[in-house]
Amino acid sequence: MNNDDAQPSRSICTSNNVKQMRIFTIQRHSNIQSLRFPHSYRRVITDECKELIRRICATCRPKSKTAKELLSCQQSSSALSPNSTIPSDVSLLDKCLRGGFRIGTVTEIVGRSGVGKTQLAMQLCVVAARLNFGSIFVDTEKKLSMERLNEIANQRHRMNMNYKSANNVLNNVTIHRLSSTSELLLAISKLDEEIILRNEQSEEEVSVASHGELDKYPVKLLIVDSIAAPTRRDFGGGDAPKRVAA
């Protein structure tokens, strides 16, 4: 093994290399399948390619923090920095959250059906775009309305020109419509790669355009609406499917 093999460069953590590895995995898998190797050998090589992609994504994504580190951050400052949160635009809620929903953490929104959880999620997408952030919306209940999202974005833009146009907002929200637990787990397993590719596309636009508004923003908001719905459908039994449909 030479030094290059022993000391991989940081450039391996780029979307181009992730895409190349995806292509390489498919091509190599196809070539392996066409050869008369034992099945166990083919599987080992394919698994190695998948593991390399996983390690690239793990290196690129933000590092996790312990509860002690988060508590220390809270105690060191009475207010979070503006770039560390996405406001809800509901003043009382933002006050309780000390500025909004914190980036890099998981926040669960709970409440009875019809109280406005999905509406709040759509509003967060609009606010995120104002901050030049992109969003990924995983819709498992088929409650996400493009018309309503467009309406919220248009209203905010008319009231305050700091908000992006509806077209800009919609262009920076990626929708995944899923109906089963297996589809949800598969989509979640691929989110690392999708976010890395989108964020590097945004970085490339920044380096090319010295002025003007960007078309694509880096992903800072991931919404799953909701995790429980496909589980109720797949494993709830009884009248669970009827409750979901209602």
- Name the residue ranges covered by the structural domains of the chain: 3-60, 108-245
**Among 138, 151, 139, 71, which residue's Cα sits nearest to residue 105?**
71
Do 152 and 126 form a contact (C-beta atoms < 8 A)? yes
Global confidence as pTM: 0.66
Asked if pLDDT for residue 198 goes beyond 50, the answer is: yes
The DSSP code sequence of 170-216 is HHTEEEEE--SHHHHHHHHHTHHHHHHHHHHHHHHHHHH-SSS--S-
- Per the prediction, the chain carries an average pLDDT of 76
CB atoms within 10 A of CB 226: 22
The pLDDT of residue 119 is 94
Which position has the token pair 């002690």? Answer: 68
CATH superfamily, domain at 108-245: P-loop containing nucleotide triphosphate hydrolases (3.40.50.300)
The pLDDT of residue 12 is 42
219 sits in which H/E element: strand 219-225
